[in-house]
Amino acid sequence: MGGAVSAGEDNDDLIDNLKEAQYIRSERVEQAFRAIDRGDYYLDGYRDTAYKDLAWKHGNIHLSAPCIYSEVMEALMLQQGLSFLNLGSGTGYLSTMVGLIIGPFGVNHGVELHKDVVEYARERLDDFVKTSDSFDRFELCEPQFVVGNCLDISSDSHQYDRIYCGAGVQKAHENYMKIMLKVGGILVMPVEDQLTQITRTGQSSWESKNILPVSFTPLVQQSRPDAIKRDTVDLPPVSVRSLQDLSRIYVRRTLRFLTNEESRCRGLPAHKPPQKRKRRRCRQRCINTYVFVGNQLIPQPVESEEDECIEEELKDKEEEKEKEEEDATETLKAEEPQVNLLRDRILSLPLPESLKTYLLYYREK
């Protein structure tokens, strides 16, 4: 069973496909998707399927299909400094992408039912912070995850600018989700097999828009719905950053700006853009059927015969070009090793080693 877009060979290839099929439409969403390798959220031995447009489930670990995440990220209309709540935060893949857009002055909370999944999400986040060059290219609002049933969040919890629910919501729980939203905020969730975007337009008014037909596994209901007193889930507090933490953010921001400027003056890109591969087939987004992928209903593009003929004619030429480009890419890769300009800059500062290590977030690489 195929997904909504062609399988990719790696993360950049998958993002190229999502972009071409117009699931990814804005630059900031594209950058966040490129910065975080979906394969890093897979268990060893399963990574080869990570770049297909398919949902993945293994034990309690469950990732939705990339085309769904693309629509979700676009529909959330994220901006710097916003507060975000992820209900059913799973592996933390989506929360981390959101964190790259909302930046260090945002709020990034997730609630996940399974303790082992929260532990897995924390490990994945730690790996990202410790080893990914993307961490140095962006400013991250690190997600904070709590274990619990998101239907048991205490009623006096704070409200959020953006909320996503990653599991199917019953109509009866729609209001529960809606009141956690600030006025002007946006909630994206699957309700009755429709991925829905809800905007809170006033204290007691909301506007709702269907984005995509989907089929999500429903949210696990509370264990004792009839009990008068249930254990409530406390969301993490919204804390003010320490002066030391703020200084690190601003020092890194200034150095990143300077290195980017220097690169620009020398006519170099601030960081090497991903090498776009020419793909064999160019699919149009022409959705007129849906297929089940895992337990999600995915729009399936259907190509017309006319499309097929034109593609056949173009295929030979494309393959020739593709070969040339791949050769050129390989040469380029061999000649230009990836450099982390911010890291190099910090390491060259006339500062005590301990301070440089702090500025580097104790990163291993």
Q: Site residues (CB under 6 A) for ligand SAM?
A: 60, 62-64, 88-91, 93-94, 111-114, 117, 149-151, 166-167, 219-220
Q: Cβ closer to ligand SAM: 88 or 299?
A: 88
Amino acid letter for position 127:
D
Active site residues: 64
Closest approach of ligand SAM to the CB of residue 2, in Å: 19
Closest approach of ligand SAM to the CB of residue 70, in Å: 13
Q: Which residue is nearest to ligand SAM (CB)?
A: 88
Cα 363 to Cα 346: distance, rounded to the nearest angstrom: 12
Residue partners of 82: CB distance under 8 A and separation at least 6: 102, 106, 107, 161, 162
Cα 7 to Cα 225: distance, rounded to the nearest angstrom: 42
For helices 115-131 and 93-102, angle between their N-to-C axes, nearest 10 degrees:
50
Phi-psi domain of 159 (left: phi exceeds 0; alpha: psi -120 through 50; beta: other): beta
Closest approach of ligand SAM to the CB of residue 72, in Å: 8
216, 167 in Cβ contact below 8 A?
yes
Q: Cβ closer to ligand SAM: 165 or 181?
A: 165
Q: Cβ closer to ligand SAM: 113 or 255?
A: 113
Report phi then psi at 251, rounded to 5.
Answer: -65, -45
Q: What is the CA radius of gyration of the chain?
A: 22
Q: Cβ closer to ligand SAM: 166 or 185?
A: 166
